[in-house]
Amino acid sequence: MVNLRASFSLLRAIYVMMREGVITALPEEGAPPPVRLAKSVAKLIERRRAKDQAQSENLSKALNRLGPSWVKLGQFLATRPDIVGSSIALDLELLQDSMEPFDTDAAKQMVAATLGEEVDKLFTSFGPAVAAASVAQVHKATIEDANGIHEVAVKVIRPGVRDRFSRDLATFFSAARAMERYIAAAERLQPVAVVEMLAKSAKLEMDLRLEAAGFSEMGENTAEDEGFRVPAVDWERTGRDCITMDWIDGTKLSNVEALAAAGHDLPALANCLNQSFLRHVLRDGFFHADMHPGNLFVDQQSNIVAVDLGISGRLGKLERRYLAEILFGFIVRDYRRVAEVHFEAGYVPDHHDVDSFAQAIRAIGEPIHGQEADKVSMARLLTLLFEVTELFDMKTQAQLLLLQKTMVVVEGVARRLDPKFNMWKSAEPVVAHYVNRLIGPIAKLEEARDGLHAMGRMIQLAPDMAQRAERLSHEIDAMARDGMRLDKPSIEAIGKAEARHSRSGRVALWIIAVCLLALVWKQFV
């Protein structure tokens, strides 16, 4: 039943994409037969106005028609140019997560339910929504304490969004499994893993306590940083379905004219944004992963204030070290070291040649150097990197995709502030500092300390591990002597699962075929 519902949902999505002119915009060259057939059908049923609109506008309309889950999927796929292509990824990056606000009374009910107290007792005022997105919306409110009345922002989850997203995820998983099953090139791109990552990200985003915790952590990390801060969280008025934080009075970073009129140093803001982001990544291993201009403000003291931490990213110590070395290698043109780091990290399979990979990296890095700052595009660089990694069987590194996408966004925002902004020149002092910090003498001492701790834990666990090893040895001996056997219930369960899977697949294929025939027949009758 679930597979059938997912098939119908997927068919609806395909139909909406056809109507809005998204399918006809797909490239013809090299397209497999199913895509060419879909394009032929789409030409018959797409809206007339779709032909006169930009592809990005058609895609935006289609995703908004399909609902909040699809908008979130579109934003997520903007991080995967290796799957959707660089041009579509850029279109998706422009997708505005903007929806009609839901009723203020419904928002108050959500707040009261999650905090266990009436809104009138928690806030001295609670205004209508000032911004509404696919997952939540923001209200301006006031609170009163011993220091007087303060303005706050209250973010409230959209009613029913969790159930809707859970249903739509079944559709996304069906499409991803079909890609892996029928498209050979999809195995390297790991579409099922991508949907799993989306599901995990959305689950975290829909519990606003976790976003509040992210703000708290980032606030502690950046407490001593100059030029960057995040709003403070009011934990007393924060729960699963709402988060209350300081109201930010400032100018959006997207309003360049207003920033200049207010006397802010635009090139300094661009440099501060880029270096702050790199510090968060390399120093803290925790970064804001949705740093588009709408989420960034500049206060009266010229501090950049980041809001909406629904999407964040993390990198472990080893990943930060590899990243620092790769970036520094590009900066100083040590392409051999960049290639070696890829192999050390396990990003490139061992059967490939390091020198050949270094040559490919050089082909990407050399065009960066010696060019005008406004001619060097991080988006173009990442596109070339994806092409090279495919040649060398490098599997998609999901933990780095969010970082790469955010780097492109940060560079774009910085360039709007300063058209001559050079990301590499700005990054060099920060990256050089953390290369020394992550691979220098201090790092070696920390690695030795961590190794001693790990050895101590191993010694503590040694008796238990010995007992487990002994039991495993007996079980292997028994298996070698008697063979591995499944009990009757297990065999029956496997048989039923296989039968169910086969029936569902056949039903889905017949539904798709019948719908396509019906669409074509309708045009000629």
Question: Residue written as tokens 């203020």?
Answer: 104
Sign of the alpha-carbon torsion through 286, 287, 289, 295: positive
Which of 91, 290, 308, 418 is labelled catalytic? 290
Query: Quick one: pLDDT at residue 504?
Result: 46
Question: Both 333 and 290 in a single domain?
Answer: yes
Sign of the alpha-carbon torsion through 252, 258, 263, 269: positive
Question: Both 165 and 124 in a single domain?
Answer: yes
Helical packing angle, 335-344 and 354-365, nearest 10°: 130
Question: Both 272 and 184 in a single domain?
Answer: no
Q: Return d(Cα 18, Cα 58) in angstroms, integer.
A: 10
Q: Return d(Cα 525, Cα 515) in angstroms, integer.
A: 15
Question: Both 148 and 59 in a single domain?
Answer: no
Pairing of strands 304-306, 228-229: parallel
Query: Quick one: pLDDT at residue 521?
Result: 44
Query: Quick one: pLDDT at residue 525?
Result: 43
What single-letter amino acid sits at 13? A
* CA angle centred on 175, ends 11 and 58, rounded to 5°: 60
Question: Both 317 and 395 in a single domain?
Answer: yes
Residue 464: inside a domain, yes or no? no
Domain span at residue 91? Answer: 2-99
Q: For 349-360, give the DSSP string.
A: -TTS-HHHHHHH
Q: Report whether 307 contacts 295 (CB < 8 A).
A: yes
163 tagged catalytic? no
Question: Both 347 and 385 in a single domain?
Answer: yes
Q: Return d(Cα 499, Cα 290) in angstroms, integer.
A: 43
Using alpha carbons, list the distances in angstroms from residue 326 to 34, 314, 434.
Answer: 40, 17, 12
Q: For 247-261, give the DSSP string.
A: ---SEETT-HHHHHH
Q: Return d(Cα 137, Cα 98) in angstroms, integer.
A: 9
Question: Residue written as tokens 């893993």?
Answer: 193
Residue 127: inside a domain, yes or no? yes
Domain boundary among 379, 411, 439: 439
Q: Return d(Cα 195, Cα 337) in angstroms, integer.
A: 33
Query: Quick one: pLDDT at residue 374?
Result: 60
Residue 456: inside a domain, yes or no? no
Q: Report whether 241 contacts 111 (CB < 8 A).
A: yes
Query: Quick one: pLDDT at residue 211?
Result: 94
Residue 459: inside a domain, yes or no? no
Q: Report whether 240 contacts 209 (CB < 8 A).
A: yes
Q: For 171-207, give the DSSP string.
A: HHHHHHHHHHHH-TTHHHH-HHHHHHHHHHHHHHHT-
Query: Quick one: pLDDT at residue 241?
Result: 95
Question: Both 236 and 214 in a single domain?
Answer: yes
Please enumerate in sequence order all residues whose Cβ is within 8 A of that of 384, keeping only pairs 6 or more positions apart, or say none.
363, 364
Question: Both 235 and 257 in a single domain?
Answer: no
Question: Both 147 and 208 in a single domain?
Answer: yes
Residue 158's CB is within 10 A of a number of other CB atoms, namely 23
pLDDT mean values, one per 10 residues, the chain (525 residues): 67 80 69 71 73 65 79 72 63 67 94 95 95 90 90 94 85 80 67 80 86 96 95 96 94 92 94 94 91 89 93 86 82 87 84 89 80 63 68 69 78 88 84 76 58 63 69 67 59 57 48 48 44
Domain boundary among 247, 282, 310: 247
Question: Both 239 and 254 in a single domain?
Answer: no
Sign of the alpha-carbon torsion through 110, 111, 117, 118: negative
Residue 466: inside a domain, yes or no? no
Question: Both 21 and 70 in a single domain?
Answer: yes
CA 413 distance to own-chain centroid = 18
Residue 297: inside a domain, yes or no? yes
Q: What H or E segment, with its residue span, contains residue 313?
A: strand 312-314
Q: Return d(Cα 334, Cα 340) in angstroms, integer.
A: 10
Q: Return d(Cα 285, Cα 46) in angstroms, integer.
A: 46
Question: Both 81 and 136 in a single domain?
Answer: no
Is this structure's pTM higher than 0.85?
no
Look at the chain and report how many structural domains it folds into.
3
What single-letter amino acid sits at 362? R
Domain boundary among 227, 247, 267: 247
Residue 422: inside a domain, yes or no? yes
CA torsion angle for 60, 409, 280, 423 (degrees, to 10)? 180
Q: Does residue 253 sit in helix, strand or coil?
A: coil
Q: Report whether 55 contacts 25 (CB < 8 A).
A: yes
Q: Report whether 281 contacts 315 (CB < 8 A).
A: yes
Tokens of 131: 């911004």
Q: Does residue 252 sit in helix, strand or coil?
A: strand
Residue 154: inside a domain, yes or no? yes
Using alpha carbons, list the distances in angstroms from residue 134 to 63, 96, 118, 205, 223.
Answer: 11, 10, 25, 11, 31
Query: Quick one: pLDDT at residue 304?
Result: 96
Q: Return d(Cα 503, Cα 505) in angstroms, integer.
A: 5
